[in-house]
Structure 1
Amino acid sequence: MLIHPTAERLRGLGLNAMAQAFTELLGVSEAAALSREDWLGLLVDREATSRENSRLARRLREARLRQAAVIEDTDFRTPRGLDRAMFLRLAGCGWIREHSHVVITGPTGVGKSWLACALGHKACREGYSVLYKRAPRLFADLATARGEGRLPRMMAAIERTRLLIIDDWGPEPLSAEQRRDLLEIVDDRYDRGSLLITSQVPANRWHDLVGDLTLGDAIVDRIIHRAHRIELKGASLRQRQAGNDALTDKAGE
């Protein structure tokens, strides 16, 4: 059998994972008992898995998630108002398919950003494009793009993204330019994409963040009326962990 030429031909066709699997199977004595259909199935499965892993790695790289958070590591034991059933439903990403939004509010340190990144990671695993931006960085990038004449291109890229995560919005009110940019982003999401917004400011005070009554109604209503809301409460998880570490250190003295 022409072992190496066949593997090289597969690589020449861009089927690198299939070529690697082909070479490995030839070195396994048990593989001789496999039917041609089983051989082909194993080779195709290896190539398909490799390509999906590559696509996932690219989506995660482009998402730029701030934290390495995954749904499976979610803490449901600490009391902070996180409804397990609701969060796991959101992890199914049906809300993204329906072009709905998610709003996560609560005080500092209760895990808003972590939960947002976990949902973003799951969206990448489900095949959706994701972009994570802290609110101050998003508006700074938009201002820079405007000054450099790149704003339409940047807005088009954001519009093509299925899930835009805006983390840590507030508490400073928006400027006139920021209000217009946010309204355009929210409008572009309608029936085409989803938003996930986290904020220390309760949603019923978001009109104050916008800083303009008319635009506040236009922006906030477009988000809230299609949003699943998670309202967290309680003490900072970071402070709680620091306290636990201190108790552990004291117990070890």
Structure 2
Amino acid sequence: MLHQQTIEQLRALKLVGMLHALEQQQAQPETYELPFEQRFAMLVEQEVLYRENRRLNRLLKEAKLRVQACVEDIDYRHPRDLEKSSMAALAQCGWIRNAHNLCITGPTGCGKTWLACALGNQACRQGLSVRYLRLPTLFEQLRIAHGDGSYPRLMNRLLKMDLLILDDWGLQKMTASQRQDLMEVIEQRHGQRSSLIASQLPIEHWHEYIGEATLADAILDRLLHGAHRLKLSGESMRKQHSEAIGGDANSHNSVTA
């Protein structure tokens, strides 16, 4: 009776991790040979772990990262001017906590999106909120928000994110309204939250891409001042991966033919 009452109280208090740990202890009678303090510490530890995992899952779901990637799986063998020391520093996420920006540029297929998502994943694992968006998708969401009256709510969500990842920067020419919307997003986040830009367009061409000199100056001043930069190079990793798969297949066929 007392045990059932305890279970109900744990559920009422939403101590799910502690409840599961208690059930595990009951299923393992040898656990009761341990001192009470140690068994209680195990219950608390499981509750903390449960809450951390639940929060991480929520943050990853909200982030909507384009690919599953983590910093531990970064390929440094592919020649693309990516230094371990730079990535190790970025993986600590201090730049996010200090509201600094990061710009990742390089040719198609060099892994810009993958690296952006890996850093987004790392930020989530450190308890930071992240949102991944392709720049064309952001512009479309803002266009719809202007029309249905949800613009203030959308801007509030964008402002609250510790890290906003904007991928595919520079793929499509901006309209006047898109330039204004981008200025508003960058302005509201400037000095408050971090933005990560991933683009195959070199930074020296961003002013021309934005199009209107006054707004371009204002946007880039806020975006690039004090920003961290990763300038990747080299051949497409997708191409080399495809060639490697093809080579393995040909080797296999030649052996088995």
TM-score, reference length from structure 1: 0.97
Percent of pairs with identical residues? 45
Contact 1:80–1:110 (CA under 8 A) maintained in structure 2: yes
5 Å matches for 1:1-253? Answer: 2-253=2-253
- Residue deviations 1:73-125 (CA, integer Å, cap 9, x gap): 11111001111110111010000011001100011111000000000000001
In the TM superposition, what is the alpha-carbon distance from 1:15 to its structure 2 partner? 1.0
Cα distance in 2 for residues equivalent to 1:93 and 1:143: 32
Cα distance in 2 for residues equivalent to 1:198 and 1:239: 20
Contact 1:7–1:23 (CA under 8 A) maintained in structure 2: no
SS in 1 for 2:168: strand
Root-mean-square deviation over aligned CA pairs: 1.2
Contact 1:100–1:226 (CA under 8 A) maintained in structure 2: yes
Cα distance in 2 for residues equivalent to 1:188 and 1:30: 57
Cα distance in 1 for residues equivalent to 2:109 and 2:198: 12
Contact 2:190–2:223 (CA under 8 A) maintained in structure 1: no
Counterpart amino acid of residue 194 in structure 2: S
SS in 1 for 2:233: coil
Cα distance in 2 for residues equivalent to 1:102 and 1:251: 42
In the TM superposition, what is the alpha-carbon distance from 1:11 to its structure 2 partner? 1.4
| Structure 1 range deviating more: 89-98 or 14-23 | 14-23
- Residue deviations 1:161-200 (CA, integer Å, cap 9, x gap): 1100000111333111111111111111122100000011
Which structure 2 residue ranges, 5 or more long, are not aligned?
none
SS in 2 for 1:132: strand
Cα distance in 2 for residues equivalent to 1:21 and 1:91: 32
Cα distance in 1 for residues equivalent to 2:226 and 2:134: 22
Cα distance in 1 for residues equivalent to 2:6 and 2:100: 49
| Structure 1 range deviating more: 45-54 or 17-26 | 17-26
Cα distance in 2 for residues equivalent to 1:204 and 1:234: 19
In the TM superposition, what is the alpha-carbon distance from 1:26 to its structure 2 partner? 2.1
Cα distance in 1 for residues equivalent to 2:152 and 2:43: 44
Counterpart amino acid of residue 86 in structure 2: M
Counterpart amino acid of residue 215 in structure 1: L
Which structure 1 residue ranges, 5 or more long, are not aligned?
none
Find runs of 4+ consecutive structure 1 residues off by over 6 angstroms. Answer: none
Contact 1:3–1:23 (CA under 8 A) maintained in structure 2: no
SS in 2 for 1:191: coil
In the TM superposition, what is the alpha-carbon distance from 1:224 to its structure 2 partner? 1.1
Cα distance in 1 for residues equivalent to 2:243 and 2:90: 31
Cα distance in 2 for residues equivalent to 1:217 and 1:12: 55
Cα distance in 2 for residues equivalent to 1:177 and 1:226: 27
Cα distance in 1 for residues equivalent to 2:23 and 2:9: 12
In the TM superposition, what is the alpha-carbon distance from 1:149 to its structure 2 partner? 1.4
Cα distance in 2 for residues equivalent to 1:84 and 1:167: 22
TM-score, reference length from structure 2: 0.95
In the TM superposition, what is the alpha-carbon distance from 1:2 to its structure 2 partner? 3.2
Cα distance in 2 for residues equivalent to 1:16 and 1:156: 32
Query: How many pairs align?
Result: 253
Counterpart amino acid of residue 12 in structure 2: G
In the TM superposition, what is the alpha-carbon distance from 1:12 to its structure 2 partner? 2.0
